[in-house]
Structure 1
């Protein structure tokens, strides 16, 4: 063969071949969690089981090929594949390391986090995933020569490739339709674990969800609200609503947890409600939902944004409302109220470059209450609480009582015992913060009628069922992520002001409750009269005069 013949030979691979190569790589190396969970499902045994797994690979491969075909054009294919590989590497890290699923809510949580919280995810384990599954494949892709034919032939070839991918899916599913139907029905989480289809669906869902429409006109709610006859007769009312973060009821010794995680609260003996479920499994969903009157069954973020909430109703009744935040904001709940961020206030202990510990909320509330006044007030304190994976950053060193601990954000590098110890230390610190708040309110009881209500936004997984953190789809979420703690403390002054029957409150403590009850329970506790109040959703209805 002559040199001229060699020099004119086609170099590189075709666009369709590159698409097929990328589709196979994504199906194998980037979807390990998908295959791990599929193998744990109820699969047929023997040869049929092996053939079903092969058919499943064919379906995932062909679907990936179909998706990637839409970007397989000169000038677009390499940049698009590079982006897919980098995003898929990040997704694989969270799926493999934390048992996370990739859906719209997970994407929303990522996009709505702040720089401080986002930086806590950085670790050498993440860097390893991004290097091996992201940077190195992208560099290889960039150096790979690719052939593109004239566009009429390329278009015809692309159409043929896509038809072939559809045929592969059909031929793979047909002999195993019963197995595919059963697996899809009983293991719905699998659709959130196959990359990059899960990324595509998450982006599509978030884009549809966040797409700008007509300007939001906020619908008034409870504008008829007014205080009952007790207002102005006795001391000013002071209610503090503490919103916990990632705290699960199962880790509270007040709920029967064998470890003593609530030693200070146990001495104060507030009323603990052990049977409460959350509206969602992530802050972006639960926070606006729990302050809305819509309830979990009717809750949609767009509807909540276009409607006033509990804080607005309280303000309509003439009470002052303030939101004090040590997390990532109120998610719009306090849009029409005063909202302050602890991280943006003048630096003071216990704050540093990583943010503030929750005791900053106590100190700030102390400063707020130092000013004399006769107004009826409601403060909402939003904790950083037990937000992971940096549990070790959520409490001072003196609260590291359960050891050994996990001193890394890469939870997969720690043992289950270390993770559980670190998480329990965050609950121990929350116990201290709540007790400090109650002691502060007790000090205020001479001039006001104070009460405190604590309720977490969602729970947390610490390795149970192979899951970590939170954010699982609600229908699939374990109880660790949806079973949340709630407690109520009322001063004698508040009990007298409201005419609250403590025996009745104790009798209600074991009732099944949810975030749906917060809106109406607070209205009832504050004796606010309004047509939007529903007694059947007031956890303490009948425990005080109407």
Structure 2
């Protein structure tokens, strides 16, 4: 390495040469995921043009040279190229290791990720990879000597390089326009793999939308929601917001491993065909509590109007949000009382960075012992099955499935190890849910309080299927493992609003996060003009008296689900 560095320090080249060689590295090496995926698409065609396939890397290289040449001048040349290489190497690692796509959603996830979560991705494999593909090339770019021509001559040579690159782009585009148009039109997801320009474009849009756009005026959906119940008993609903749980890993949904051995004995109803609003927490959490649907969801709009939690609170319920997910309610809990689980190591359930989800039970118990309102909603936000450090989500005594994967570079574990580790997180979540249900059952028996529980995950997870790991892929081509999520409902026998036998029958119907807004209002018996009876999946199994007392004549949607 020392000899190589010494050689580059003694090497003098022109700016155009440095741009060309760096672009070759970025386009032909760090863009291998894009080239491989596009090649697979092209070669899968019945009659593909071999020359068109050969033109692909040349076309990408020419575009890369054009873009980099625009900013390559004098002293800014090396910094721009080094930044490009560093960013591209990080994206390269994420793409080939986990199958990630760095689009707008991934940029948002990255910005909103806390330090502990970010560090969970750091491991020896990642460090060595980054040194090899990012640091070493950057050091060589820094070390090489550049020879500069007079200003006008330098400008002229740069324009020549740009002109030559554009000529190649137009030539290839002219010869194979129909081929590129067809492949691009039918495989729009491929553009997400172009490194690093898709990420730069997404980053620009994110910064523009979040930091340079005026906030919207807050919209009130209903000024006077109310809670109307027939019973004089107090009511408590615990909503457990799961993290990264996928429906197919629940034995309640037919999975062949006993991941729900606790709750299956407690008479829960599992909704087997629930789908998420997004593939990441940053989208799914605010979306599911919002009146907006997946089709018209916009975070700026969602955070600038009342959500389901706001309406329940305004209706007179005591609302408490308890988070074991690093305080990440994504703006949903802004206007209600929140409590963050302290990760201090003095707590045996915590390691200084994370806590097991059992840590949610103590503050829940405290709240249940000190009810101050007739109606109470408690949201427990789990850390659940958040990866890639799945092994940190369950204590050793809850390690049911072995061998498991005790490392964060999960792509280097066997498929069986990885699945066992993830299944342990689901089984542990089930244990925590059973503890919550037991606490609510005890409260109902001793204090004559109506109780219920609703559990739902924000998004699913990929575990190496088709080479894809984790979550966050664009929804348009995300696999079902990332979009089909579990939902569980339970209520004590004194709760008469819903017929559980009916719910068990209807639990196979297709529903989405779009239904959660109305489901929460329904469970809490909130009478509001924002409630849409046609979006309430529980309406078919609700008593006629419950429907009558919570339905508003001027509601947004008067169509009853059949």
Match of 1:474 in 2: 475
Tell me which of 315, 320, 323 is aligned to 2:318. 320
Aligned to 1:75, the other structure's residue is in SS state helix
Contact 1:243 1:457 (8 Å CA) reproduced:
yes
Deviation at 1:378, TM superposition (A): 0.4
Q: 1:306 to 1:345 in 2, by over 3 A?
A: farther
Tell me which of 236, 246, 249 is aligned to 1:248. 246
* Long gaps (5+) in structure 2: 1-9, 548-562
Q: 1:241 to 1:346 in 2, by over 3 A?
A: farther
Deviation at 1:513, TM superposition (A): 0.2
Deviation per residue, 1:262-305 (Å, 9 max, x gap): 10111112010000110000000001000000010110111112
Match of 1:153 in 2: 153
Alignment of 1:500-515 (within 5 A): 500-515=498-513
Q: 1:131 to 1:443 in 2, by over 3 A?
A: same
- Give the whole-Å Cα distance in 2 for the aligned partners of 1:489 and 1:500: 10
| RMSD (Å), alpha carbons | 1.9
Deviation per residue, 1:23-56 (Å, 9 max, x gap): 1100122122112212322427899654223211
- Give the whole-Å Cα distance in 2 for the aligned partners of 1:393 and 1:175: 54
Contact 2:343 2:353 (8 Å CA) reproduced:
no
Deviation at 1:347, TM superposition (A): 4.5
Match of 1:418 in 2: 417
Deviation per residue, 1:181-217 (Å, 9 max, x gap): 2221232222111212222222223223323322443
Alignment of 1:444-455 (within 5 A): 444-445=443-444, 446-447=446-447, 448-455=449-456
Aligned to 2:377, the other structure's residue is in SS state strand
Deviation per residue, 1:135-155 (Å, 9 max, x gap): 111110111111232322222
Corresponding residue pairs, total: 532
Alignment of 1:31-430 (within 5 A): 31-43=31-43, 49-230=49-230, 233-328=231-326, 329-343=328-342, 347-430=346-429
- Give the whole-Å Cα distance in 1 for the aligned partners of 2:330 and 2:304: 13
**What TM-score, normalized to structure 1?**
0.94
- Give the whole-Å Cα distance in 2 for the aligned partners of 1:368 and 1:274: 31
Contact 1:349 1:360 (8 Å CA) reproduced:
no
Contact 2:411 2:464 (8 Å CA) reproduced:
no
**What TM-score, normalized to structure 2?**
0.91
Deviation at 1:441, TM superposition (A): 0.8
Aligned to 2:74, the other structure's residue is in SS state coil
Deviation per residue, 1:494-513 (Å, 9 max, x gap): x23xx322233223211110
Aligned to 2:75, the other structure's residue is in SS state coil
Match of 2:19 in 1: 19
Bigger CA drift: 198-207 or 114-123? 198-207
Deviation per residue, 1:402-453 (Å, 9 max, x gap): 1211111111211111111111111111110111110111111132211000
- Give the whole-Å Cα distance in 2 for the aligned partners of 1:513 and 1:354: 35
Aligned to 2:176, the other structure's residue is in SS state helix
Deviation at 1:177, TM superposition (A): 2.4
